[in-house]
A and B are shown apart, each in its own frame.
Chain A
């Protein structure tokens, strides 16, 4: 499974699944090592996602055709 393709939620879910599989201890060593490697990658990806996060805050404006438009909003109006 490609760690890059997954969003945070999927990554976390897969990570928990991997930890569960490892903790059950039924997988043979080679498979365990592969799981561990995948888990480590996901861990790094999730940490990176948590670290870099730019929040966009906008105010909705209804355009002339009734379509939604956004203007920046800083909470002070």
Chain B
């Protein structure tokens, strides 16, 4: 060994190694492919893991500041490419990869982030059918949580106006792409709910790249949609673009225009169904009316109503018949009475005092007409009538014997 060798402290040699490594062009900017294992997220926000392949292992750390830009969650077993620099951590003498960016291999990191969030929220039940709110059939106030500029808002306004101008529209302006977009969209949904500004919300934007649409794949937006008491239609990009918002929303529309069509009824169509209802209403009343008319006609078939004069004629004949019988009966009974009367008259005649008077008798009557049968009935001087066969004598009593 060389006697000129200096004895170094552990710190000194560690610093030396660190200096060597930091100056190394390869180590100061590497891309390493490997599988994640021993992944740990510390409360500090730093991520620790080991990258390995069949033969070797490399310790890695990713500080919070770099990790927040990561859209997916690293998991054990995941194939990744880690970018960073390799240097030594003097305290424990271990070299490690200080990772500044982690990219999943195969699927892109956005795709992975999407799948991971989708799976997480699905597990929590945010997409469950039972939480889907029914949309109002005839919305009165629709909030469009979207960019106030651009084609999407104009398309929606045009269609809403054409189909259902009864609904008022409130445009709630938000940025729909960039760093702040997700927070703004979520806050706008909460705001509309807080002030109850609408009975239906449409949130979305026109087409763009996956990155442009990304706000609608963010968890804050998903949670705000889930929280909303007002039903929400999600309308992001074009037909094939499906976002997390689409899954959480009460209804997914393929495009903003499609959302406007789904949001409101078409008044032309409704006028058509009104016409249809009108025809059904007419037919509905026609049936009971014709049934009633038939019944009426059946009743009207009675001769009493079809030929009332015949009815009267018949009744008159009947009346004649009865009156003839009545007259006949009367005549009969009158004839009988006449016979009886004749007999009575004959016997009356036999008993008639006139017959007796004819034989020379007279009837004496007092002034009040009482027949006098005893001298006791009159006083001397009373007037007495004497009825003879012919005429009457006015007499005065002179003496009672």
Contact = CB atoms under 8 A, between A and B. Distances in A.
B173 A8 contact: no
Contacts of A59: 148, 170-171, 173
Contacts of B26: none
A77 B138 contact: no
B160 A22 contact: no
B138 A32 contact: no
30 contacts: A18-B281, A19-B284, A22-B287, A23-B283, A23-B284, A29-B288, A32-B284, A35-B284, A35-B285, A36-B285, A43-B281, A47-B271, A50-B274, A53-B164, A55-B161, A57-B157, A57-B169, A58-B168, A58-B170, A59-B148, A59-B170, A59-B171, A60-B143, A60-B172, A60-B173, A60-B197, A75-B157, A75-B158, A77-B148, A77-B149
Given A23-B284, A59-B173, A75-B158, 6 more contacts: A9-B138, A12-B270, A35-B284, A50-B270, A73-B148, A75-B153
B321 interface: no
Nearest to B138: A9
Interface in B135-168: 137-138, 143, 148-149, 153-154, 157-158, 160-161, 164-168
Contacts of A77: 148-149
Contacts of A15: 277, 281
B154 A75 contact: yes
Contacts of B285: 22, 32-33, 35-36
A55 B168 CA distance: 5
Nearest to B166: A53
A59 B144 CA distance: 9
Contact of A68 (B164, B197, B292): B197
Contacts of A49: 166
B197 A56 contact: no
Given A15-B277, A43-B281, A47-B274, A58 B171 contact: yes
B350 interface: no
A22 B157 contact: no
Contact of A32 (B158, B167, B168, B288): B288
Contacts of B291: 25, 29
